[in-house]
């Protein structure tokens, strides 16, 4: 059996590894000159950095097991921390929640009870909400915006602004006013109601390529797989309602199975003219993409947040990461804004100035940065909005031998690296079962 995988992101690589483990011949075609998909590398002076700062969770079981399968040692690429949220507002006030040392979910409850910056009413309403979520089996029917769901549970303004909203935008990259409660509750269940380690945060201590794509490439090529960079697939080759291969660089590459692990917009281009796939095309057209913006700031001397990252309340900037503490990039901070907003209409100069000032307001002792680089990843994730799961396509397709993989497929999970890996692996299992 020959399988061609179109797209070298995390979904495509996960599928390739799974297939090769089962002695299936794989050729992976990637249009760009590097693997990783939307998680790519950029140049910032002498540093090569990711196009955005990432946080993973201990609940990302599929990803962590996959890394282990190809002999990636977690502690060599990721820094594991207990859930530790600290948010500063413009007046210098602080909200700080850190999970306790008890087993889950008691670790979360003790963290809430000791949270700094919450009143008794704030704590009580949050605890009541968590109990309600658990009693409902973390289900909501029909799906509603998370803001509406939290209002039903009587959450205080402060509980929403300092806890639920930061969690929502970090997990779903979707504004709380439109975010899917269904998807949000699924992640909350997996992160906080399994093992205590599931809620721990995993921060890369190297670029994301070292975390999985680079070792995956080595594994694939060392096990008779074939990876071709700079190979754009222009069209699919069908015979009746069965796949026969792909056309890349004006050449036909035959295959018994083809996995489209490309971004939604690229997948749409490849299938839009295939009549039997019209229902899939219609679903893909309803998927909306949302941005993540990152500003890297280089300071003339070492600066420190005195922690790995901190959040800002009532600012354009949502999170600031200390790259020196995480990766050894001395003097570099990474400021992140997830989701859409007014900042997307600002010029690069305007937004860079706004973020720089917000950091200076919170840390007036810092010198002025000598260099900045703004990265707007306009299609960073799909929008995990209400009802989106109804428009997410299955791994299978009406064309025999054609499959779909990616964080936008019907995983039930938000558009994350974990979702991409789950989709790719499931796609591979379906081919193996056939």
* pLDDT tens readout for residues 128-151: 999 999 999 999 999 999 999 999
Higher-pLDDT residue of 61 and 100 is 61
> Where residue 90 falls among pLDDT bands split at 50, 70, 90?
confident
Q: Is 90 exceeded by the pLDDT of residue 271?
A: yes
Residue 181: per-residue pLDDT: 97
Nearest by Cα to 256 from 400, 113, 124: 400
* pLDDT tens readout for residues 302-342: 999 999 999 999 899 999 999 999 999 999 999 999 999 99
Across the strands, what pairs with 227? 28
* Domain segments of the chain as ranges: 2-40+206-287+385-433, 98-199, 289-382
Residue 109: helix, strand or coil by DSSP? helix
Supply 405's token pair: 């993989």
Residue 100: per-residue pLDDT: 87
Residue 41: per-residue pLDDT: 84
Q: Is 80 exceeded by the pLDDT of residue 92?
A: no
CA distance 339 to 173: 5
| Burial bucket for residue 134 (CB in 10 Å: 0-12, 13-18, 19+) | middle
Residue 434: per-residue pLDDT: 86
Supply 262's token pair: 């490309």
Domains 2-40+206-287+385-433 and 289-382 in one fold: no
Mean per-residue pLDDT over the chain, rounded: 95
Q: Is 80 exceeded by the pLDDT of residue 110?
A: yes
DSSP state letter for 121 = H
On whether the 289-382 domain is CATH 3.90.660.10, my answer is yes
The fold of the 2-40+206-287+385-433 domain, in CATH, is FAD/NAD(P)-binding domain (3.50.50)
pTM of the model: 0.94
Residue 93: per-residue pLDDT: 75
Q: What is the mean pLDDT of residues 41-68?
A: 92
Q: Are 237 and 247 in contact (CB under 8 A)?
A: yes
Q: Find the length of the chain.
A: 434
Pairing of strands 41-44, 47-50: antiparallel
How wide is the angle at C-alpha 359 spanned by C-alphas 98 and 382, nearest 5°? 70
CA distance 237 to 255: 9
* Integer angstrom CA distances of residue 393 from 140, 177, 412, 423: 21, 24, 11, 11
* pLDDT tens readout for residues 2-48: 999 999 999 999 999 999 999 999 999 999 999 998 888 888 988 88
CA distance 114 to 83: 14
Residue 274: per-residue pLDDT: 95
Q: What is the mean pLDDT of residues 399-406?
A: 97
Q: What percent of the chain has pLDDT over 70?
A: 100
Residue 201: per-residue pLDDT: 95
Q: Is 90 exceeded by the pLDDT of residue 117?
A: yes
Residue 322: helix, strand or coil by DSSP? strand
* pLDDT tens readout for residues 409-426: 999 999 999 999 999 999
> Where residue 231 falls among pLDDT bands split at 50, 70, 90?
very high
């Amino acid at each position: 059996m020959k399988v061609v995988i179109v797209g070298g992101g995390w979904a495509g690589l996960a599928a390739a590894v799974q297939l090769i483990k089962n002695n299936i011949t794989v050729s992976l075609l990637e249009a760009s000159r590097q693997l990783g998909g939307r998680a790519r590398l950029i140049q910032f002076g002498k540093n090569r950095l990711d196009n955005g700062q990432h946080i993973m969770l201990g609940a990302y079981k599929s990803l962590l097991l996959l890394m282990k399968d190809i002999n990636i040692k977690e502690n060599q690429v990721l820094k594991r921390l207990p859930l530790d949220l600290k948010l500063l507002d413009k007046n210098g006030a602080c909200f700080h929640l850190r999970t306790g040392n008890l087993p889950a979910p008691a670790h979360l409850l003790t963290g809430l009870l000791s949270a700094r910056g919450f009143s008794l009413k704030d704590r009580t309403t949050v605890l009541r909400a968590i109990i309600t979520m658990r009693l409902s089996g973390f289900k909501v029917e029909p799906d509603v915006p998370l803001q509406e769901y939290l209002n039903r549970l009587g959450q205080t303004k402060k509980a929403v602004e300092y806890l639920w909203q930061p969690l929502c935008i970090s997990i779903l990259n979707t504004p709380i006013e439109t975010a899917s409660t269904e998807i949000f509750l699924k992640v909350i269940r997996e992160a906080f109601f399994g093992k205590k380690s599931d809620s721990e945060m995993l921060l890369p201590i190297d670029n994301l390529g070292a975390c999985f794509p680079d070792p995956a490439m080595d594994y694939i090529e060392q096990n008779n797989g074939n990876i071709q960079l700079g190979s754009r697939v222009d069209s699919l080759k069908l015979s009746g309602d069965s796949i026969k291969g792909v056309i890349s660089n004006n050449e036909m590459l035959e295959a018994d199975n083809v996995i489209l692990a490309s971004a939604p917009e690229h997948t749409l281009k490849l299938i839009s003219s295939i009549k039997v796939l019209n229902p899939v095309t219609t679903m893909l057209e309803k998927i909306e993409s949302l941005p993540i913006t990152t500003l890297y700031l280089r300071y003339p001397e070492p600066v420190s947040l005195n922690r790995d990252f901190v959040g800002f309340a009532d600012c354009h900037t949502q999170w600031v990461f200390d790259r020196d503490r995480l990766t050894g990039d001395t003097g570099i901070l990474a400021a992140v804004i997830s989701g859409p907003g007014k900042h997307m209409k600002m010029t690069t100069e305007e937004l860079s100035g706004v973020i720089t000032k917000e950091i200076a307001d919170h840390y007036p002792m810092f010198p002025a940065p000598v260099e900045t680089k703004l990265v707007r990843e306009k299609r960073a994730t799909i929008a995990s909005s209400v009802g989106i799961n109804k428009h997410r396509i299955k791994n299978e397709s009406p064309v025999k031998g054609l499959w779909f993989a990616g964080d936008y497929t019907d995983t039930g999970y938000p558009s994350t690296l974990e979702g991409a890996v789950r989709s790719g692996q499931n796609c591979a299992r379906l081919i193996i079962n056939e």
